[in-house]
Structure 1
Amino acid sequence: MKFQKLYGIRGTGLILIFLSMAGCSDTRLDWDHILASKELRYATLESPATYYESPTGPAGFEYELAKRFAESIDVNLKLITVNRSHEVIDMVMNNKASIGGAALMNVKPTGNLKFGPAYYSSPQQLIYRKGDERPANISDVNNQSPAISLTQMEILKGQYPQVNWNAYYDRDIDALLRMVQYREIKSAVADARQVNIYKHLYPDIRVAFDITKPQPVAWLYRDDENLHMAITEFFKELEETGELNRLVERYFGHVIAFDYVDTSAFLARIDERLPEFEELFKTTAAGYDLDWTLLAAMSYQESHWQPSARSPTGVRGLMMLTQDTAQYLGVADRVDPGQSVDGGARYFKYLLNKIPERIPYPDNIWFALAAYNLGLQHLEHVRVITQKNGANPDSWNDVMKSLIKLSNENWQPSLQNEPVRWNEPVRYVGNIRKYRDILRWLTFEKNRHARKNERMHALTIDSPVL
């Protein structure tokens, strides 16, 4: 499947001019057109919760769904990105996109638009800032004018007409939560799944209470019976095969747990310590065909990016190599940043190549991380136990449950000199997934702002003084 992306014009004024001047497309982007053109035009947001460019390519929950749907009907995916969720609706309404997906709540659509089947449900939550008084109920925020996006307005104004909602045309959920973090506004409303992601970027935001019942989230498209049937069948198959649950876990499952102190410290050290080693992580990762944010996340988990780090058991350096591993890898000086990172990357690549090829991404990465922490032999032992218990030894989630069970039972293999801490790789892998995602999201935000500045610079016109 080929992948192509288009960026929506930036800036509120330009978006309005674009939509009003363009009007509706002459070509109706219905099911027949999708099949004839071999192209699915899919509108979404650029955000950690929907779609973003990672160091290894396109990522995000909505992107994964769109990619799979395009593959299932054998067409190419053309991704159209905009800044705000209501612009996704505009793209579909103005016939610029066949489908819109941006964590849109399944409310009654206007005109000839239609929502597909819900692929998850999530409540809207009232968000305030740590240190402020926590609102106990809706009456506590009547005078605060909680911030909402335009796509939230219908359901919230319908349920709570007495509240003076502040609907932002030029802001979406990520911007509103950032404003709460930096005390620019008192409160905002956001989807609970998005909150679970953004609290790792804005650690001072807090949930006051669920402001709605779980709301179904679905794709939006024009009312086309054939397209609707294809989408319905697609999600039915995703659910029956368990692929939908796997995608939900991949993008949302591991971010539910939140450690304020750890996350705040990590964000601070990204500014304080990472710049010294970022280029080293990037060049080393490129040499071994690895994701540099994964390598950096591993190093932070191991040493907090301290080259002289030493553990009570004698492991040392940025990647905390044991003496035996260092000797095997030919690392002469474990506290030398270059040698340590190269040795750690080489060892991780070795372990990754030992993981059976049938295990798909990203589970193969999680297994290799567990082997880096626990040892390959112990990991294989747990996979065998997982299979004997009737679970899938190639699924990290299933093996993780076995590790937790072994830890709770304090089971130890025979002829083992030192006790095995079975729960350690669960925490280890979970932390690295979190650190890697935070680095990916921050890199995406940095690149997005750089592109925005480039476009603004390109749009600048020098005018003579009148």
Structure 2
Amino acid sequence: MKRFYFNNFILINLIGILSFFVLLSVLIHNTEFGSDLTRLERIKKTGVLRLITNNSINSYYYYNGQPTGFEYDLAREFANFLNVDLDIVTPGWNNMFSYLEQGKGDVIASGLTITKERLERFDFSNPYMPIQQRIVHHKLIFGPKNIEDLTFRTLHVRRGTSYQSRLEEIKKSGVDFNYILHNNIPTKELIRMVHDREIKFTVADDNIAYLNQRYYPDIRIGIPLQEKESLAWAVNKNDSQMLEQINKFFLYANETGLLKQISDKYYSNIEETDPFDLKRFHQRIETRLPRYKKMIIDESIKYGFDWKLVAAVVYQESRFNPNAKSFTNVRGLMQVTTITAEEMGIENRLNPSQSIKAGIKYLDKMVQKFDYLEDEYESILFALASYNVGYGHVTDAIQIAIDMGLDEIKWQSLKTTLPLLSKSKYYKQTRYGYARGWEPVQYVERILTYYDILKQKELI
């Protein structure tokens, strides 16, 4: 009996000692990191913003060893706005909300729709993009004509998404259909399964659906499942300081054109893409590109270009046809003019190797003309427009932008002023005169679409 009490006495004391050290550890931790600090104060003290997001083409992914993606770019600008570094946390879709609640991240930015269920647990920022849920099906599968026509069909969606919430609402309204929930399967993968006819239907926000149609040209974007919704960032309930800063940032991003610039980089004209053209591009990536791929890679390396961007230019120029000829008598894979061929030191524009060398060398010359631009991405866009319509016309468009009070070093401004070169009111005041200024805008945007597709394909 004495031993029992003695052991209990020792146990109680051990528990007490352990509790003391735990308490001491907590006190030390709180003293060091400031447990009384608000989340925003902690971010500014540590100098790090922890972004909770998801690995997906519309949020965050790596290309050429560098992070990219719409949500990543936007969050990076927010971190700059706060003057802190950005740390990325990717716990998987189904774990994002629990990570936020547990303090393992500061904000969720992952293409989240504001829903009633989510509002009960979290606060959301001001919206930054309107979207609409749409049915996605294969071109050989008839999609439903309306919501009532969902009857007897089976849809596949990811668990815990706004898609699941909407399908539950439709089911409760009396429409008899089935849906299958998948854990942590990206929407892109479900769209791929539709494209490969492994499943018949899925649901995606229209920005995701149209973006994925670039990579899976046999899908079709069907009926909307509900009215327009909004995407926003999520923070913990009552985190008013954090929410205020995010909303201030979105106001700043709207007023400065930053939000539109990032949106255009990833989503420009995605709804206007021709699926038949995309299908042909995918086919020619397999049948024609391999003949010229090594030449393109070797020459691109010399000038520090991403070879996939150059390949996109080649396709836009000639559809990978070395004998291509335009009505203005430019020839070859990169549609080099006679004057440019002489300037770049080549003799035969129809020779694939010579055409690629001349075209890339000339593109580099255009890039160097815009090396004063701080943003390398912007300088590439200006150079591509110059490759198409000529450097002189681009400088005219820049001057028009200055005269109109636009930011002349932004592609967004040139998208406005280049088409004005076809209007007498404007081109009569320029040095180089009339130009079909809408063409370089379309030219650049098509190249960016082809480039995006190539980035998503495993070609090396």
Corresponding letter in the other structure for 1:181: H
2:318–2:334 contact (8 Å) kept in structure 1: yes
1:254–1:433 contact (8 Å) kept in structure 2: no
Check 1:418–1:69 CA distance in 2 against 1; reply closer, same or farther (3 A cut).
closer
SS in 2 for 1:218: strand
1:127 to 108, 121, 136: 136
Q: Aligned equivalents of 2:284 and 2:441: distance in 1? A: 23
**Offset, 1:39:** 2.2
1:258 aligns to 2:273 (yes or no): yes
**Offset, 1:439:** 1.1
**Offset, 1:138:** 1.1
1:176 aligns to 2:187 (yes or no): no
Check 1:166–1:341 CA distance in 2 against 1; reply closer, same or farther (3 A cut).
same
1:286 aligns to 2:318 (yes or no): no
1:85 to 93, 98, 102: 93
User: Which residue number corresponds to residue 432 of structure 1?
Assistant: 447
Matched ranges for 1:406-445 at <5 A = 406-407=421-422, 420-443=435-458
Check 1:110–1:260 CA distance in 2 against 1; reply closer, same or farther (3 A cut).
closer
Check 1:417–1:167 CA distance in 2 against 1; reply closer, same or farther (3 A cut).
closer
1:232 aligns to 2:244 (yes or no): no
TM-score for both structures, normalised by structure 1: 0.81
User: Which residue number corresponds to residue 167 of structure 2?
Assistant: 156
2:393–2:433 contact (8 Å) kept in structure 1: no
Corresponding letter in the other structure for 1:154: S
SS in 1 for 2:90: strand
Q: Aligned equivalents of 2:274 and 2:381: distance in 1? A: 21
**Offset, 1:391:** 4.4
Check 1:430–1:140 CA distance in 2 against 1; reply closer, same or farther (3 A cut).
same
Unaligned runs of 5+ in 1: 1-25, 448-466
Q: Aligned equivalents of 2:252 and 2:429: distance in 1? A: 44
TM-score for both structures, normalised by structure 2: 0.82
SS in 1 for 2:230: strand
Q: Aligned equivalents of 1:391 and 1:110: distance in 2? A: 39
**Which region of structure 1 is more displaced relative to structure 2, 214-223 or 428-437?**
214-223
Check 1:185–1:212 CA distance in 2 against 1; reply closer, same or farther (3 A cut).
same
Q: Aligned equivalents of 1:319 and 1:292: distance in 2? A: 14
1:318–1:335 contact (8 Å) kept in structure 2: yes
1:165 to 159, 174, 179: 179
Q: Aligned equivalents of 1:281 and 1:51: distance in 2? A: 28
Higher helix share: 2
1:99–1:220 contact (8 Å) kept in structure 2: yes
Check 1:165–1:117 CA distance in 2 against 1; reply closer, same or farther (3 A cut).
same
Matched ranges for 1:31-430 at <5 A = 31-55=40-64, 57-81=66-90, 85-107=93-115, 108-109=117-118, 113-150=122-159, 151-152=161-162, 153-161=164-172, 162=174, 163-223=177-237, 224-355=239-370, 357-358=372-373, 360-389=375-404, 391-407=406-422, 420-430=435-445
Whose RCO is larger (CA < 8 A, sep 6+)? 1
Check 1:37–1:164 CA distance in 2 against 1; reply closer, same or farther (3 A cut).
same
Q: Aligned equivalents of 2:64 and 2:358: distance in 1? A: 21
Q: Aligned equivalents of 1:303 and 1:340: distance in 2? A: 11
Q: Aligned equivalents of 1:185 and 1:53: distance in 2? A: 28
**Offset, 1:423:** 3.0
SS in 1 for 2:335: coil
Check 1:30–1:303 CA distance in 2 against 1; reply closer, same or farther (3 A cut).
same
2:396–2:431 contact (8 Å) kept in structure 1: no
CA RMSD of aligned residues (A): 3.0
Larger Cα-atom Rg: 2
**Offset, 1:435:** 0.8
**Offset, 1:339:** 3.0
User: Which residue number corresponds to residue 22 of structure 2?
Assistant: none
SS in 2 for 1:146: strand
User: Which residue number corresponds to residue 459 of structure 1?
Assistant: none
**Offset, 1:408:** 6.8
Q: Deviation string for 1:241-295 (max 9, x for gaps)?
A: 2211222222112322111221100011112222333333333222212222211
Q: Aligned equivalents of 1:415 and 1:249: distance in 2? A: 28
User: Which residue number corresponds to residue 19 of structure 1?
Assistant: none
Q: Aligned equivalents of 1:130 and 1:274: distance in 2? A: 26
SS in 1 for 2:114: coil
Corresponding letter in the other structure for 1:253: S
Q: Deviation string for 1:129-181 (max 9, x for gaps)?
A: 21222311112113112122221222431354244332211422101111111
User: Which residue number corresponds to residue 16 of structure 1?
Assistant: none
Q: Deviation string for 1:106-135 (max 9, x for gaps)?
A: 123378533222211211111222122231
SS in 1 for 2:235: strand
Q: Aligned equivalents of 1:386 and 1:74: distance in 2? A: 30
Q: Aligned equivalents of 2:399 and 2:261: distance in 1? A: 22
**Which region of structure 1 is more displaced relative to structure 2, 389-398 or 344-353?**
389-398
Unaligned runs of 5+ in 2: 1-29
User: Which residue number corresponds to residue 21 of structure 2?
Assistant: none
Q: Aligned equivalents of 2:425 and 2:284: distance in 1? A: 35
User: Which residue number corresponds to residue 21 of structure 1?
Assistant: none
